[in-house]
A and B are shown apart, each in its own frame.
Chain A
Amino acid sequence: MILITGGAFQGKKAYAAETFSLDESMTADGENCSWEDIYKARGIFHFHEYIRHSLEEGRELKTLAEDLFRKNPEAVIVVNELGSGVVPIDAFDRDYRETVGRICCELAKYADEVHRVVCGIGTVIKHG
Chain B
Amino acid sequence: MFVLITGGSGSGKSEYAESRAVALSKETGLPLYYIATMKPFGEEGRKRVERHQRLRAGKGFLTIERCLNLKELKLPGRGVILLECLSNLAANEMFEAEGAGEHTPEEVLLGIRKIRAGGGHLIAVTNDIFSDGILYDETTERYQRFLSRINRMLAEEADEVAEVVCGIPLTLKK
Binding site for B on A (CB under 8 A): 3, 5, 7, 81-87, 91, 94, 97-102, 104-105, 107-109, 114, 116, 125-126
User: Is there contact, CB below 8 Å, between B167 and A85?
Assistant: no
User: Is there contact, CB below 8 Å, between B165 and A86?
Assistant: no
Beta-carbon contacts of B104-147 to A below 8 Å, as 1s and 0s?
00000000000000000000000011111010100010011000
Binding site for A on B (CB under 8 A): 7-12, 15, 44, 128-132, 134, 136, 140, 143-144, 165-168, 170
User: Is there contact, CB below 8 Å, between B140 and A104?
Assistant: no
Q: Which 4 A-B pairs have the closest CB atoms?
A: A101-B10, A85-B132, A83-B8, A83-B9
**Once the chains are docked, how many angstroms separate the CA of A114 from the CA of B165?**
10
Chain B residues whose CB sits within 8 angstroms of the CB of A5 once the complex forms: 165-166
User: Is there contact, CB below 8 Å, between B166 and A87?
Assistant: no
- The number of residue pairs between A and B whose CB atoms lie closer than 8 Å in the complex comes to 77
Chain B residues whose CB sits within 8 angstroms of the CB of A3 once the complex forms: 166
Q: A7-B131, A91-B44, A94-B44 are in contact. Are A84 and B8 (CB under 8 A)?
A: yes
Q: A84-B132, A86-B140 are in contact. Are A105 and B167 (CB under 8 A)?
A: yes
CB distance from A57 to the nearest CB of B (A): 20
User: Is there contact, CB below 8 Å, between B134 and A85?
Assistant: yes
18 pairs across A/B with beta carbons < 8 Å? A82-B132, A83-B7, A83-B8, A83-B9, A83-B11, A84-B132, A85-B131, A86-B129, A86-B134, A86-B136, A86-B140, A87-B129, A97-B10, A101-B8, A105-B12, A105-B15, A108-B167, A125-B166
**Once the chains are docked, how many angstroms separate the CA of A58 from the CA of B131?**
28
**Residue of B8, B10, B12, B166 with most partner-chain A CB within 10 A:** B166
